[in-house]
Structure 1
Amino acid sequence: MRHRPTLYPRRTLLSWLATGPALASIPSLLTAAPPQPKEPPVSKIHYRRKQVGEVDVFYREAGPADAPVLLLLHGFPSASHMFRDLIPLLADRYRVIAPDLAGFGQTRAPARGAFPYTFDTLARVLGEFVDVLGLDRYALYIFDYGAPVGLRLAMRHPERVTAIISQNGNAYEEGFSDQWGAWQAYWREPNDAHREACRASLAPDTIRDWQYGTGSDLALLSPDGYELDIAYMARPGAADIQLDLILDYRSNVALYPAFHAYFRKHQPPLLAVWGRHDPAFIPAGAQAYRQDLPKAEIHLLDAGHFALETHHDVIANYIRDFLGRTVT
């Protein structure tokens, strides 16, 4: 026997559809709000400026204001844009601050001749910048030129430094490759001929092929970093500022014994994440940290000088693990 379907009066069915349970069970395509994008787990990068004496410091900042501070210091011939991929990977847990040093990037400093472009001056401006921001505790990420600048800061205020991450940031003579001949000749005899010989270090092909390209996986190497560095180097007056700093680099080498004494006395936790194919600073420079910091953690990466360009995710993982165990 076939059963006939139960028929409901039209008015009864419409009345039921208008009830709360029915409305809750049937999505309304006409009135539903569009889905809202979820906020990413890290804060957005902010681009800021801070006047520090005669220098207008540009810096990038991300992360919670009350989180442990990580101060990122760039190297030659770059600026804080070298940290563009690293910052988002750390800013959920740390307040990350990356300034452009005086004479680099978007920081505005007086012209050469009205301002001494030396590493002591770069460190002085950085120290005043840190004071203006009220940073009384921070971990340091030091790379290339950022190493002697940051270590000057650490020696002046050892109580503020919670940890050090050295990414191809040299502090030992063992770290020099055999590619420093022109610079070392200029240090020994600072004449015009030796100055001109160092100008090749500032050339676009040197920046692109030697500094960035050597030892890097070219398929992973974005042109963004080196093309911006090349553009910065082409600005009026930039080359002579850099040549002044190349000459003054000898002051960093002279300070190496003082850096080592700081390490031995204060024993800051240190992580070295080093591109092993760096044509300027060889892996022995990373290993040398253990001479004064026996507990230093050292990792050699299959990367070049600008290791962040191809290994920012790997480096971020090392940093998160290291700081998670050493900084609270």
Structure 2
Amino acid sequence: MKRQIVNKTVYVNGVAIFYREAGDPKNPTVLLLHGFPTSSLMFKNLMTALSDKFHFIAPDYPGFGFSDFPSVKEFDYSFENIALYINEFTEVIMLESFSIYFHDYGSYIGMRLCLKNPNKIDSIIVQNGNNYFEGHGPNWNETKAYWENPTEEKKKKVYAFLSAEGTKEQYFAGVPENLKQNISPESWIIDWERLNRPQNLDMQFKLNCTYPTNFELFSAIQEYFRKYQPPALIIWGKYDVYFDVAEANCYKRDLEQAEVHILEGGHMLLETNFDEVVELIDNFFTKRLAE
């Protein structure tokens, strides 16, 4: 039984993409796409737990984790461009067909891959991943106000999420008190160390300002769901303060057979509700393979 995670790097258009790989390529491949503010680090425990059954690939986006961080003068930090690089990454490592597990920012990267390569996608796992407007509650109001009418005063408020406390809050905000002991401190501390590299916070803010381009894709994404009906597992933290739980059941509008599971957790379910998530993923694929 192999559970070793191997750490690798490949070059995509001159940019070094760091990724973690585990499991036998003969097993179903799952591409793991991380959210903000983290990296492939968020998937390490999952990869170890299930690498006897699955082949996992978990890349870090340019500017995140341990991938190259080209300057903003050399690289377009937009969701569209990062998705182009991750799509090219899948071609460089020769992934022919795969499932995608995406979280947070990973939803915007992953769904662009689905739109570009619908016939390569075996299934999707959505963990607090935004593809409907219902996910954006009132906590987004200040950010949206800045996008619509940027001023220095508004920028200071929005920029506040790019801080040690803002990084920590991604893990702890809304989480029930009894689950906070499940959150590993090194997770958010390593995230912050990577974010706090020289010029990285400004890059992260620039990327965040391209956020509205994701909303423009929602109708195309929902049409993709209706047309291709990829098998889907939707896992959501009931207390997520970033993407409202009201969005979770929206997927069933367009994905007839989608499984939706609401867990007693927040935004980072692989920290707080790990055993439940592992069981849901294992059962999801076991049922699919039995069909």
TM-score class normalised by the smaller sequence: over 0.9
Q: CA deviation at 1:174?
A: 0.6
Q: CA deviation at 1:206?
A: 1.8
Alignment match, 2:129: 169
Distance (Å, rounded) in 1 between the aligned partners of 2:147 and 2:289: 39
2:24 to 64, 68, 72: 64
Asked if 1:215 corresponds to 2:177, the answer is no
Q: RMSD across aligned C-alpha pairs, in angstroms? A: 1.3
Aligned residue type for 2:233? L
Distance (Å, rounded) in 2 between the aligned partners of 1:263 and 1:55: 32
Percent identical pairs in the alignment equals 37
Asked if 1:46 corresponds to 2:6, the answer is yes
* TM-score, length basis structure 2: 0.95
Gap regions ≥5 residues in structure 2: none
1:93 to 36, 41, 53: 53
Gap regions ≥5 residues in structure 1: 1-40
SS at match of 1:273: strand
Distance (Å, rounded) in 2 between the aligned partners of 1:288 and 1:262: 14
Q: CA deviation at 1:191?
A: 4.1
Alignment match, 1:202: 162
CA deviations over 1:34-66 (Å, ceiling 9, x no partner):
xxxxxxx33300000011112100000000022
8 Å Cα contact 1:163/1:327 also seen in 2: no
Aligned residue type for 2:266? G
**Corresponding pairs, count:** 287
CA deviations over 1:82-113 (Å, ceiling 9, x no partner):
11111111211111000001110000042112
Aligned residue type for 2:210? D
Give the structure with higher Rg (CA): 1
SS at match of 1:180: helix
1:317 to 269, 279, 289: 279
8 Å Cα contact 1:43/1:64 also seen in 2: no
Q: Which range moved further: 59-68 or 139-148?
A: 59-68
* TM-score, length basis structure 1: 0.85
Q: CA deviation at 1:327?
A: 5.0
8 Å Cα contact 2:121/2:230 also seen in 1: yes
SS at match of 2:58: strand
1:300 to 259, 262, 267: 262
SS at match of 2:180: coil
SS at match of 2:225: helix
SS at match of 2:166: helix
Within-5 A mapping of 1:255-274? 255-274=217-236
Q: CA deviation at 1:192?
A: 3.8
